[in-house]
Copies of this chain bind each other. A is one copy, B any other.
Amino acid sequence: MDLLKEIAREVQKETKVRLHRRNVERVLSAVLTERDFWKIIDLSDLPVPAVSGIIKQFIREGIIFTDDSENVLLTQKGYDLVSDLGISGLADYSCPSCEGRGYPFHIDKEFYRKFVELAKDRPDPVREYDQGAVTPETTVSRVLFLESRGDLEGKDVIVMGAEDDLTGLAVALRGKAKSVLVIDIDERLIEYDNRVFKELSIENAKAMVWDLRNPFEEDIIGKFDVFITDPPETFAAFRSFIGRGIATLKEEGCAGYFGLTLRDSSIFRWKEFQEILIGEYGTVITDIVQDFNHYMNWGYHDETRAAQIAPVKKPPADIWYRSAWYRIETLPGFKRWNEPISDEVFYLDEEGSTT
């Protein structure tokens, strides 16, 4: 009997998150590498409910235990198991200079410094809108990535529904785009952006409140060269953010950027997202950079399902939530998806837990 396979099956039954044997193996590799539960999730590349369920099963089997400081550790039986199975810890050779993104945030120090100064009074993230901002280093690197790929200078850029990251502000601040439109459901962020645009006399940028569950008006459709967004990982949100993002693009050869994580969706769901992107929407994926987006911890962590199902009470001490950075391009015949969406399972479903 294959214990890992059995655990995959049981945790899948319990959590409804699809799992295979190697997902469970990966959690053991993560436990060999880190002892903080939240860091273990990061390294496991699995939804929180899955890692939580797997670790609880391993605790029941006497393979993992948590000590007085709530460290997650292997028992002697656990060490014997990983040794028998030839499972090892994970190395990390990601670049210290660019934090593994390929584009160092500090390559234009003045831009970085100015953005950090402007971001310092940003509104706190709120749970209602699934907010949780990326680090300033992430936001700045996003802008440099776009610029290096020819998706910024002279372009009409729309930044949709993720302005807690202040990506729209950073794009506008960079001063290279032809125009910048920021939309977000959160009035506080829209006011923040518009105030800064006014103070800095940035005249080609504006921000407006919009709920992405609603279809765009005709004046947004087909008007942009580039969209940037960062959806929750439900199918409904994927369509509202990315389907609608594609709908804003002018023609073939335009680009879309977004984050997708494996902390709130499984690799099985990623495949389904990719099928939608390629098969249904008629786009092509040009980039997937893992762990590009680093999220700062959010004040409402204790209220999340993630905190409630965790095997430890200790909150995250450091960055643990990261997502991949996708870039797609439209091709001839691409589809402009712009249907209304009900708010059922918009922010949260069986694989999600951090809202």
Contact = CB atoms under 8 A, between A and B. Distances in A.
A208 to B, nearest CB: 24
A253 B27 CA distance: 13
A3 interface: no
A107 B87 contact: no
Nearest to A254: B22
A289 to B, nearest CB: 6
21 contacts: A20-B252, A20-B332, A21-B251, A21-B253, A22-B253, A26-B150, A90-B150, A91-B153, A93-B108, A94-B148, A95-B95, A96-B104, A100-B102, A271-B283, A274-B278, A274-B285, A275-B278, A275-B279, A278-B278, A279-B279, A285-B288
Contacts of A267: 284, 286, 329, 331
A160 to B, nearest CB: 21
B86 A94 contact: no
Interface of A: 20-23, 25-26, 29, 86-98, 100-104, 107-108, 144-145, 147-148, 150, 153-154, 178, 251-254, 267-268, 270-271, 274-275, 278-279, 283-290, 324, 329, 331-332
A172 B193 CA distance: 53
Contacts of A100: 102-103
A178 B285 contact: no
Nearest to A89: B153
A152 to B, nearest CB: 8
Nearest to A262: B286
Given A100-B103, A252-B22, A329-B267, A285 B285 contact: yes
A37 to B, nearest CB: 19
Contacts of A329: 267
B284 A270 contact: yes
A271 B331 contact: yes
Nearest to A82: B154
Contacts of A26: 150, 253
